[in-house]
Chain A
């Protein structure tokens, strides 16, 4: 396969994997926390939080990218703070592409995890409490393991969504070769350049393989973690 893809194309695939994996791993705990709060807590503003989490799903991705630019750009409130405090700049960097991918993947991840948390029988948590478990211990030993299939499903969906992320990425992180030009951006760029048909086709095949791989891997993980009782597909 190394002769099949040239070095530039390998670099694009590697960058895409790096961006998507970082996006999923950083978003995962945030998404699970949000999913738990929305599933288990009743408070004023819960609907607003739920709607805000789902916003990236319904907004034009370009608008999400622009909002990220406003907030996380060098002169944006969050961006300026990050740069002044930690010396971190996200805009036009691969980390910015990961941020855009993570934000776009968030609603899908929250949704999958929330459903699995809601499916955990609360009576089991009551039983755990009477057996001596604190709220936190009951969460760790009951809710968390029983919602693993949802975590795996959410991670898979988030990874696939991150791999495909285009609109918010190109708006926020731009299309910089070697830095933010992920698979979809490279395919889009290739389509603008005459004579790139074969490269576009090869990258498209890679995209299909990676997405299918993510799907099958998550299915395997879910079946394994649930002793064959749950599945994604």
Chain B
């Protein structure tokens, strides 16, 4: 089982409930904006704590309220690509890319850095400040940064937003190329249908 996610989470007035068991390598979570897709990703990455539930990905229990398991975000080995990218503004692209790699304790990434950078066409951006990147460039750097921290699985939040059609194809090829469980969330069901083996509707 790649994904075993049962959680209930409360954000202000909104209650989020999710119960997914899936063997698909690429799982998509779809639903309209504001339904809580990003909150689910935060629960999985450890940045938020669900009220209750159990999160097991690739055989590793990350959270289990019944057993009192709550692995710290830095130890979940999740490669997160945030919808708002969150590149570090005071570090050049190269230093953004190496941030997680340096903390990976020598674990190898699922894809070599040189191959990743050429696939995403960002090898020439290394010396740039994040503030000077276009939206699409920043998105591709964020994807590379998440992969280079040698994660066990990927969490992608609206991964194809601000990527043009040809870049979206590159993303699809990348998702195909790396052999990691991937959970992606999107409001655009048509977009993810061709990427994911299993689509779950939220809300």
Contacts and interface: CB of A to CB of B under 8 A. Distances in A.
Given A126-B47, A227-B129, A132 B86 contact: no
A137 B72 CA distance: 14
B194 interface: no
Interface string A111-139: 00000000001011011111111100100
Interface in A192-233: 226-227, 229
Main secondary structure of the interface of B (DSSP, over half): loop
Main secondary structure of the interface of A (DSSP, over half): helix
A82 interface: no
Interface residues of A, number: 20
A142 B86 CA distance: 12
Interface stretch (B1-9, B25-33, B99-107, B167-175): B99-107
A131 B99 contact: yes
Contact of A132 (B74, B82, B89, B129): B74
A145 B80 CA distance: 23
B146 to A, nearest CB: 8
B86 A123 contact: yes
B122 to A, nearest CB: 17
B80 A133 contact: no
A124 B45 contact: no
A148 to B, nearest CB: 9
Nearest to B86: A127
A146 interface: yes
Interface residues of B, number: 27
Given A124-B86, A142-B88, A146-B90, A131 B145 contact: yes
B101 to A, nearest CB: 9
Residue from A131, A133, A134 having most chain B Cβ neighbours under 10 A: A131
A146 B130 CA distance: 14
A189 interface: no
27 contacts: A121-B86, A123-B84, A124-B86, A126-B86, A127-B80, A127-B82, A127-B86, A128-B99, A130-B46, A130-B73, A130-B74, A130-B80, A131-B103, A132-B74, A132-B103, A132-B104, A132-B149, A133-B74, A133-B103, A134-B72, A137-B74, A141-B99, A142-B88, A145-B90, A146-B90, A227-B90, A227-B129
Interface of A: 121, 123-124, 126-134, 137, 141-142, 145-146, 226-227, 229
10 cross-chain pairs, A with B, having the tightest CB-CB distances, nearest first:
A132-B103, A131-B100, A127-B86, A129-B73, A130-B80, A126-B47, A131-B149, A132-B74, A130-B45, A132-B100
